Amino acid sequence: MIIANSFQIRYHSHLVGCYWLLAGNVVMVAYTPSALKAELHERGWRMTPQRETILTTFQNLPEGRHLSAEDLCEMLKEGDDPIGLSTIYRNLKLMSRMGILRELELAEGQKRYEINQPSPYHHHHLICVRCSKTVEFKNDSVLKVGAKTAEKSGYQLLDCQLAIHAVCPSCQRSILPT
């Protein structure tokens, strides 16, 4: 068992995957390929080679990278398992609904995706509304509010993210009168 900040991360024998515990309650899930396979199976979906490729691609992305469907398609084109754009769109939607991926709107009308990770990697975004430059930051209090709010209403928390829309320092400089 690893203690990460105030959260406990451990494996439950009766549950699939890695769960977050907050005050003894399971609040969120992080997926491994085998956990994803079991979860998909339970919901009547199959773990296809494409889904596994998408999951591992996101798991291996460097910190701070967010991919659009087109970015992912382009990345996979060069590898051994290219996947068509429509299959990518479908699977990104499915995996976001399951809480495996996060769907982010970092710039207007531009959906980007990243893996939904538990603490201590869970993060929020500070976004420049002019140039879309995005800074990731961590804040467990936001997550705790999310977990408590969901729990109070009997909802199962999949993700909790704060998006702060702002103007970055260089864009502030460029709009100042000269």
Q: Which residues bind Zn ion (CB under 5 A)?
A: 114, 128, 130-131, 133, 136, 168, 171
Cβ proximity to Zn ion, 4 vs 21, nearer residue: 4
Cβ proximity to Zn ion, 130 vs 144, nearer residue: 130
Q: In angstroms, what is the minimal distance from the CB of 149 to Zn ion?
A: 21
H-only helix segments in 30-118:
33-42, 49-59, 69-77, 85-97
From the CB of residue 84, how many other CB atoms can be counted at a distance below 10 Å?
11
Cβ proximity to Zn ion, 23 vs 131, nearer residue: 131
Q: In angstroms, what is the minimal distance from the CB of 130 to Zn ion?
A: 4
- Specify the 3-state DSSP secondary structure of 144: helix
From the CB of residue 63, how many other CB atoms can be counted at a distance below 10 Å?
9
Nearest Cα residue to 20 out of 114, 147, 142, 149: 147
Q: In angstroms, what is the minimal distance from the CB of 63 to Zn ion?
A: 8
